[in-house]
Structure 1
Amino acid sequence: MHHRLSRDDFDDICRQPAKFLMYSAVRRALRQTEQFRGNARGLMVLVVDKQWIWHAKAAARLLLKDPSNPYVRDDIRSVVAIYDDTSKRRSEVSVVRPEHQSFLLSTSREALPVSIQLAADAIVDIPGPTARHVQAARRLAGVDDVDVQTAAWIARQRAEVVIGLSARNSLKYFDASLLGRPPDEPERGPKLSDLPGYRPTRRWVADLKGDVADWRQGRLQWSELSKGILLTGPPGTGKTLFATGLANELGFDLVSTSVAEWQGSKQGYLGDTLSAMSKSFADAASRRGAVLFIDELDAIGDRARMRSDHVYYEGNVIARFLELVTRINEQPGTVVVAATNYEHLIDPAILRSGRLEEHIVLELPDEEERAEMFSYHLGHGISSQQLRPLTDQLRLATPADIDKYAREAKRHARQRKAMVDLGDVAAALPAKAPLPEDVLHRIAVHESGHAIMALASGQVEAVHIRLETHMVEGVTVQDGGRVQYEMKDMALPTERQLLARVRTMLAGMAAEEVVFGTRSIGSGGVQGSDLDQATRLAYRLAGSYGLGKWLRFQVDAQWVDHSFQPMPELRVEVDGILGREYRATKELLSKEKAALMRMAAELAVDREIRLGRQS
């Protein structure tokens, strides 16, 4: 047990009266134990009033932290735990002889199993803070001193009153009648159930909320909950807002961080990164209920992808992260929410059951969700039904974009000194320029080519084609049209079926060449384009699935991304696959040119068509 604090930890508890008060109370109660005086190893049970127990847990961690080594933070690795006395299976608690000092906190001696009471080297009752502790907390916080009688009166109050008055600048005009009022609930933002969108998450959140309620009532153990989730989706789809709304839904605190924040801590050395990471987890574990939100999780890395000169650094970061996630899931009251744009770049061990076991993809909002989001941000002053004619134009808008447009609409209304109306909304939307007819015709041919090849493949039940008539000014990459496929269930795709998918991806470019004799840039240029998808699928065919010229496995299928470096002979083989399938696609579309042109003409007029295999 350590009797001195590092400068950083001392500065920290000076700013946190609750932490300082319990640190002082715990030290005072432990003075006569062998663990405190002689640093003997052993299990110490601290019996703490329920209203102070989470602050006592944070204080106990400080006592076990070694200030001589600032790069090692053992807040999670050291055994400092709260015994969950709501458990209905107390007889199953394991007693393990610790190899170092450890604390177990409980709200009463009676709640502890006999095995723990017998194994404990010391069971110590932790009284509340004393008058001297209150006086010291106020001095360290830099507020006015109080006399010992006033400090003693403060120390006799309930925990939240003691904490508040220990931090108050002056008690000169304090109204003691305020203590007779019921405690205020903390003011929180909107709950997730109040927010529009997030349809794929609703079931998981509802189940978690019900389980948390049962856990609070002692009907369910924390270990039974699903409490780790990974959100995947493009930027702006509301991953951060999800974590905030979930915390409010559960009545938990939000602890928000990111891998970039850990890596940028202090000098960015390995010890700095590990210390910052551990501090975030320890912060969440010390709360009475917390959602730990970790953004940009893909930056944590994947051990199978490490460069040889990064193995030591990245290996230690991932190993420490795995340890922290495992241990935080054992601590009652903490839910971990991680977010990424690239799930395939994350080490699989992080995503296994028992860690971040729930995986949900957040897509761009659909027509109904866009209108609901816009209405929400306008305070429901305009209904979603009234907004649909305008918001239906925002097919590629993210939730963040919609929030921005709504703020702009309210600004227009403030300038007019009036309530927001549809005119303000229209003025806030990005300016659009109409597409020339020849460009519309080419896009219609391109998308119709995809549709014909998809239907010919036998892998889709129906297709939905949509053509955009306007493009947003100032945006470089946009969809002029889009084809959505209603796919058949293909549990075990064959080589023929995968090659048919390659042809479908290349069909837009091939259709342009069949009809116009030339090709545009519409099939490539960016990640996620037709050509990008076809190329990656061809690499999986030849380099992972063993369906190419050679029976070869070079790379896991999920790792064929922008960072993948193929062998030269694999590159040559993929070029051959793409060239062969492009020629086959052109040949089929040439035979179906009349049908292709009819479909394109219909799309150019109607802007949207749906087709089934019998069409």
Structure 2
Amino acid sequence: MDSAPSLRNEIEAGGAPVVLVTANDIGALEGLATIWDKVLLPPGYLIVPGWGLKDVYHGKRTVISYIATSPNKPADLQAYRKSVRIAAQLAIPVVAIAPQVQSYLPEELGRITTYRLSIPPLDLATITRTIRIVTGKPCAQPLRSDLAAGMSVEDLALYVRYDRSPDECLRLLQSAAETRQQNRASRDLALDELHGLDEAVAWARSTLTDLQLYREGRLAWQEIDHGVVLNGPTGTGKTLFAQVFASEAGLPIITGSLAKWQSADEGHLGHLLRAMRQDFAQARSNAPCVVFIDEVDAFASRDELTHSHRDYAVQVVNGFLELLDGIAGREGLIFIAASNNVARCEPAVLRAGRLNRIIQVSLPSPADLEKMFRVRLRADLSNVDLSGIATLAQGFAGADVERAVKDARRIARQSQRSMNLDDLIRAVGGEPAVRSEHELWRIAVHEAGHRVIMALHGSADRIKVAIHQNGTAAGRSLRDDLACLHTYSEWKEVLLEILAGRAAEEVLLGSPGVGSGGGPASDLALATRIAAALAGSFGLSGPHPLVHIALPDATEEILSQPYMRTAISTELESAYQGALDLIRQHRDATMQVARSLMVNGHVSGSEISRIIQSIRNNRLN
């Protein structure tokens, strides 16, 4: 109110401004509700609640107030609309205080508002001023930059008192902030901490900005981008993203899925549709609200349904579409859906106006994994370099990172000590196994092959490899510049680097072992995904390079085409032959790097480059 001096002048001059004050902090609104009249109104004004207009008549010095710190029932809001019309017709000033217009105040109020004031979150300057005003003394030391995060007006009321010094107030506020941080659940994250979900986070921030404008009555709901599908592998944080978004938006979240609705009662069609309608009705009654639909690809394409239960499935999809944007509308509903393969989803679900924005979510990069470990570790291992852990965890999803941190804490807790790096290594790489010298030597040769080829390709500065006592290679990282690769020759180099470990085993040991295959993060799995993208998505190889089959990470869909499997196999065989040729040319260097790994347990990129150059010089001499 201080920021709009013309407001008080207008009231003193007999004007009839309509003032809307919003804030996410309920404590701030409740405090404002008790003092706004003393700040804004000259003496002698009568304040009448919005539902008491029967006592108001034209000409009396009156202000109508609407104070709402919780949503009102639709029937009550309907009654308040009459009072808004009376206030407008009689030119009576109106002051409304609420978290937002929708569900809290009559919608007509938003249309006639002349002053929109928004109380921002607490910042360091406000906290400093509050301490000075209450204690009568300035703070002797600057406040920590993270002190304001998550702090509420309620916190200031509890810890800042007139009988305390500024230092005591600060100490108590900082202690409360640290306790709040320590008590956060591993999944209680902020948008800034959702690493690896950059595009989804960007959408969230844009939507949050528009949502604030909507709450202030300055933006129509249909202008908000309120429907998105996150498509990607299991465990990559799609559900977590929906929870974090709802939390930061200050909105309730209703979660549903075809499996959940089908489990209602006996699973008959009528029971399923009724359960679905109940969740949507609950969301609309709590609007604005987030509706999270898990496994949306379970609503399969109606055109591709051929089984005996087709009629049942079609009616389920039709019922879902009706609720998604039927006669009840989508006002106040933000839809976030998750899918493992959106290509299987009914196309009508994804059309414009429904869930038309599709965001691809991939497995996190080593750089993102390092940040994810740091976020979930909180204060643990705060001064420890986690880059080795991140490369060891390549192929992990967010859920795997969370599980590994929990396991590491459990290991330390049961040993009755604080966590150390070895606990986390065990949690990521598995329990220590008894490895023979023969097994360790094969692992060293395999890792040496990768790193020698990377060094030959000029990537020595990105190499960091170590062999742990349990036989786990902490440096099994893929290049971190894949997003910057554009040409076939650049991708071919990556394929050579990935397959070089297997090639080194064949050249130095006579035959490859099983270490190149296995899980989704194995060398063969990574190489296959890249080769599939080159042939079926990027248009850089294969018999039909101009034909787009699927998105780059839709490997299974691309492999479902027989001729694409042949093309991918040809591409991989060519890359493997190239890796064999390079390893044979640099056999001595690969052998020396492997020996260094066995003796020292680690080797740097600069050391590998030195070994390669030394052998070259000896041959020239």
Bin of the TM-score, shorter chain as denominator length: 0.5 to 0.7
| Change beyond 3 A, Cα 1:521–1:224 | same
Q: 2:604 aligns with which of 591, 609, 613?
A: 609
User: Higher mean Cα deviation, 364-373 or 277-286?
Assistant: 364-373
- Whether the 8 Å CA contact 1:243–1:337 is kept in 2: the answer is yes
Secondary structure at the aligned position of 2:248 is classed as helix
Q: Which residue of 2 aligns with 1:585?
A: 579
Q: Residues of 1 paired with 2:461 and 2:342: CA distance?
A: 29
Tell me the amino acid that sits aligned with residue 582 of structure 1: Y
Change (3 A) 1:538 1:404: closer
Supply the distance in 2 between the matched residues of 1:394 and 1:575 (Cα, whole angstroms): 27
Deviation string 1:501-552 (CA, Å, 9 cap, x unpaired) is: 4444332211210111111111223345322343455455556748434679
Amino acid across the alignment from 1:197: E
Question: What amino acid sits opposite 2:377 in the alignment?
Answer: F
CA separation of 1:337/1:426 partners in 2, compared to 1, >3 Å: closer, same or farther? same
CA RMSD in angstroms, aligned pairs only: 5.3
Name 1:164's counterpart in structure 2.
none
Q: How does 1:162-561 map to 2 (within 5 A)?
A: 197-199=193-195, 200=198, 203-231=202-230, 235-236=234-235, 238-268=237-267, 272-301=271-300, 317-318=316-317, 321=320, 324-326=323-325, 331-342=330-341, 346=345, 350=349, 354=353, 355=355, 357=357, 359=359, 361=361, 363=363, 366-375=369-378, 384-385=382-383, 395=393, 398-402=400-404, 404-405=406-407, 408=410, 412=414, 421-422=418-419, 431-433=431-433, 435-453=435-453, 463-471=462-470, 481-487=475-481, 493-494=487-488, 496-539=489-532, 545=539, 547-549=541-543, 553=547, 555-556=549-550, 558=552, 561=555
CA distance in 2, matches of 1:318, 1:328: 16
8 Å contact kept, 1:535–1:574: yes
SS of the residue corresponding to residue 292 of structure 1 reads strand
What is the one-letter code of the residue matched to 2:510?
A: G
Structure 1 CA distance for aligned equivalents of residues 407 and 363 of structure 2: 19
Q: Shift in Å at residue 255 of structure 1?
A: 1.1
Report the alpha carbon displacement of residue 369 of structure 1 after superposing the two structures with TM. 3.7
Aligned-partner Cα distance in 2 for 1:109–1:194: 31
2:533 touches 2:553 (CA, 8 Å); kept in 1? no
- Taking the aligned partners of 2:209 and 2:377, their CA distance within structure 1 comes to 29
- C-alpha offsets along residues 480-499 of structure 1, whole Å, 9 cap, x if unaligned? 641231336667544x5555
* CA 282–221 in structure 1, closer or farther in 2 if over 3 Å, else same: same
CA contact (8 A) 1:499 1:581 kept: yes
For 2:381 and 2:442, the matched residues in 1 are separated by 37
Give the secondary structure class of the aligned counterpart of 1:466: strand
Deviations 1:76-114 (A, max 9, x none): xxxxxx9xx9xxxxxxxxxxxxxxxxxx9997696699x
SS of structure 2 residue aligned to 1:522 = helix
Task: Report how far residue 284 of structure 1 moved.
Answer: 1.6
Residue 336 of structure 1 aligns to a residue in which SS? strand
User: TM-score w.r.t. structure 1 length?
Assistant: 0.55
C-alpha spacing 1:410/1:350, structure 2 compared with 1 (3 Å): farther
1:469, distance to aligned residue in structure 2 (A): 0.9
SS at match of 2:476: strand
Residue aligned with 1:483, SS: coil
Structure 2 counterpart of 1:224, one-letter code: E
1:511 touches 1:589 (CA, 8 Å); kept in 2?
A: yes
Q: So what's the TM-score if we normalise by structure 2?
A: 0.55
Deviation at 1:204, TM superposition (A): 4.4
**d(CA) in 2 for partners of 1:566, 1:234:** 18
Q: What letter matches 1:513 in structure 2?
A: E
**Mapped partners of 1:363, 1:231: distance in 2:** 13
Opposite residue 594 of structure 2, the aligned amino acid is: A
Q: Which residue type is aligned with residue 529 of structure 1?
A: S
Q: Closer, same or farther in 2 for the Cα pair 1:566/1:249, shift >3 Å?
A: closer
- Cα distance change on mapping 1:405 and 1:581 into 2, 3 Å: closer
Q: Secondary structure at the match of 2:217?
A: coil
2:51 corresponding residue in structure 1:
none
CA contact (8 A) 1:461 1:488 kept: no
Which amino acid counterpart does residue 531 of structure 1 have in structure 2? L
Aligned to 2:594: 600
Secondary structure at the aligned position of 1:398 is classed as: helix
1:286 deviation in Å? 2.0
Change (3 A) 1:582 1:421: closer
| Cα-to-partner distance string for 1:235-281 (whole Å, 9 max, x where unaligned) | 55554344333323222112122332234444545555444444333
